[in-house]
Amino acid sequence: MSYDFDPIDLDEQFIDEIYEKALTDERHVNHPIQVLGADLVKRPSELVHINPNVIFDYSEYIDYMFGQLIRFHDRSVHFMSFNEGFVDYFGGYWTKDIDSALRLYALGIANGTIGPFIMANNGLIVTQKDSFVMPTYNTEDPRFPDWFENVYKKQYKPRYK
């Protein structure tokens, strides 16, 4: 973990900021991302082009925000359904806006935090989550200060550094 990391909670505005910085067009160095796997979409125009340098710069923030999702707090389950990405570890909705969720998913795929969503055998739309992403806490959670100093700072492993 970098010593200058300042945790930012799972937040639509921050996700939108990172996403807008990361968007690029096909003419520049980019990483094409398709949130919904090929079995779920019919048009290749669903691809989003992401600048890998921006993902590198915000990687820890992306992992940190995903760590606040309810499914990332259950380390025994390796998949997350599409709808579980709207629910934080308190069991409430961090967003009800599909665009914010899709932006978070695109950033997570570009970062390697999750994979593209696919249709599972049971009919659910799911993604595989990176088992190394640790559960994280909201800065307003009373457990945050102790957890951040004694767990996060000691156990978080930067993805690209």
Phi then psi dihedrals of residue 80, to 5 deg: -135, 130
How many CB atoms are closer than 10 A to CB 116?
18
- Checking if the pLDDT of 2 tops 50, the result is no
Spatial separation of the C-alpha atoms in residues 146 and 126, rounded to whole Å: 33
pTM of the model: 0.89
Q: What is the mean pLDDT of residues 60-79?
A: 94
- Checking if the pLDDT of 44 tops 80, the result is no
Q: How confident is the model at residue 45 (pLDDT cuts 50, 70, 90)?
A: very low
Q: What per-residue confidence (pLDDT) applies to 40?
A: 65
Phi then psi dihedrals of residue 93, to 5 deg: -85, 125
Calculate the average pLDDT of the chain.
87
**Cβ proximity of 89 and 135 under 8 Å:** yes
Q: Domain map of the chain by residue range? A: 12-133
